[in-house]
Structure 1
Amino acid sequence: MAAADVKESVDDDQRRLCEEFAAVTGTDTSLAEYYLREKNWQIEEALNVYFDGGDPTPQIDLDSHSMSPSGSSGNSSPDLVVTYDSGAPADSNLGNQTCSLMLKLLTWNIDGLDNKNITERTKTVCSIIKRESPDVVYLQEVIVETFAYIETMCSPTYIAIPANSEQYFTTILLRKSRISLLAHKIIEFPTTKMYRNLLTVKARFRDIDLLLMTSHMESMKNHSHERKTQLTTVLKHMSEADAATAVIFGGDTNLRDYEITQIGGLPDSIGDVWQMCGSPEDAQFSWDITKNDNLDMPFKPKCRFDRLFLRQGCSSKLLPQMFMFVGTERLPCGRFASDHWGILCEFKIV
């Protein structure tokens, strides 16, 4: 029997349980999968939790900025699609020989400074992380309350490294079964007016040394000088990293193309991953107010604020294979998970 046939026979049993759960509760199979997975596919236990008005995992009521015990939060919706994986090590799944040679990375400004619908929006961020199972996650505009929720929901699978513990900050998540954490460091931007810095993590993927870097650079057009100073710092650290180490920087850069030109462009050793993937038009403008109406603005700009830069290591190469947006689905509350689209990228190891 082929591996695909084995996987299908297992999925059939789980799908049947999801359909039974959905039929009893009057919900859908996606929500059913959420409850069943968290209760190890024991349908009676999952149904008991559902009808008790509970959630099988701890929740944080982000709208009131306080911890709440298991139970429905005031801002949650039974229509919210939340899909969780089993939490099993990725390499134990069938057909993962090819997957093990790919590094998947997500970078996303999750707009934690917007309090509106923050519980539902943060739940969706966690849902997408679980669904896509990236090896590395770069998050920007995390706040203390959303960090606590994300860490709780992702902790079985990911380790979370924050760049701060107050105001708003960046965070890097590493998939425990695939990435080994070696060290991390916060590099300050001494002239920032907006609490910005550079979070760096040394890690190992298979036998490849990685330097993972994220930042949320200074915002708004009139802070161009500071933003260019921060970009220069980022490129310096990328260029000066150990030659054997592959370096991936990503985040909400707030950059305009002309600002990169004004500092002399990217060094020859550093590539723009979007351009390396062929500059796909459908994944160009990550902050697009013509499509994303979370912000009520009189004009409709669209900008390529969120970017990924890559410097190869001399031992192995990372070849970008995919560059796409996530978080483009409208939620039951009528809004999107963030005013930014997230960027999901895959790198082939050669």
Structure 2
Amino acid sequence: MAGLQQQSEELVELRLRLATVDQENEQLQIALEDVTRRLDAIAEESSALQAERRDLIADNAHLRHLLAQSQARFLEAQVSAGRDSQRPRTGLEGEISILNEELQVSLEELQVTAEELENANAALRVANETLERQVAERTANLDLAVAERDALIGRKDLLIREVDHRVKNSLQMVMSLLRIQARSAADAATRQALQTAVMRIQAIAQVHSMLHARNSAEGVAFHEYLDEICTFLGETLGVDGRRRRLEVEADAIEVPTDLAIPLALVTAELVTNAFRHAFGGETGSVRVCFRRSAGGGVELMVADDGCGLPADFDWSHGKGLGLQVVKAMAEQVGGRVDVARQDGTRFILKLPLP
């Protein structure tokens, strides 16, 4: 009883830790969304400043072109005026004098235009300096926001890894308590029920162990998981490789975390049921297959070459806890379970990948 009480306390503490981590995760998610909005706003401002800078550069180039043209015309006018002053005067001296005066006016206007262009150039240089300063400030703000976002993502990943580690340790402690109780139980049915509970908890703990080892909370390499969990199930159920065999065939597929745990429980239940009920103490083998299906999803098959299910047995309405777990997990992940009774029994769980 003391062991059960301690187990209950550990589970309560685990739930509290998970609730705390969920709250922190929500806060981090809100902060991450705020940083993302700030990044988008800064990016838009930076784009607008870059467009303004390009326009100012184009205006500067146009003004420089006009200034060059004005200076060329000014020099040409000066040369023409010098030539006219060296020519001998004729009867048209009055008209030439008028033309010279008009030319002088034109030269003065060109000089004014040149000064205006120079002033515009100076204003453009000031605008360029201001724009470059603003771009530098926006870039610094953007770098700071990116650094804050990366820090938040790193903290979130660290918290998730810590949760997986604590969950794995807590589940290992619960399994140890159940094993102790199983060894001390006098009733065979009680020992078997406790042993089944240990296998179910191990199926979940193994997923968290792989998440912690891979430093990732996004998904699980389920083909690796099948090898590990089936090895554990074989050792627990007395698979010796001669009278009883357990074979695993799996494609290299990574599944999301929220899909890995239901698949783990289904695997543990079906393999356990097969070895306990399919052979009646005789020799036999169980085969576990995990592969891609034709429709783009995946399918998990657990097949045995035992005596098979009775013809009138409806597995979906079975009263056993194991089959109820299989049905509940299949519904949770949106999958469908088909049963074939030829040459033993085959359970095939088909489900789409998100």
Compare the two structures and name the one with the higher helix fraction: 2
TM-score (norm 1): 0.29
TM-score (norm 2): 0.28
Compare the two structures and name the one with the higher strand fraction: 1
Q: Which has the larger radius of gyration?
A: 2
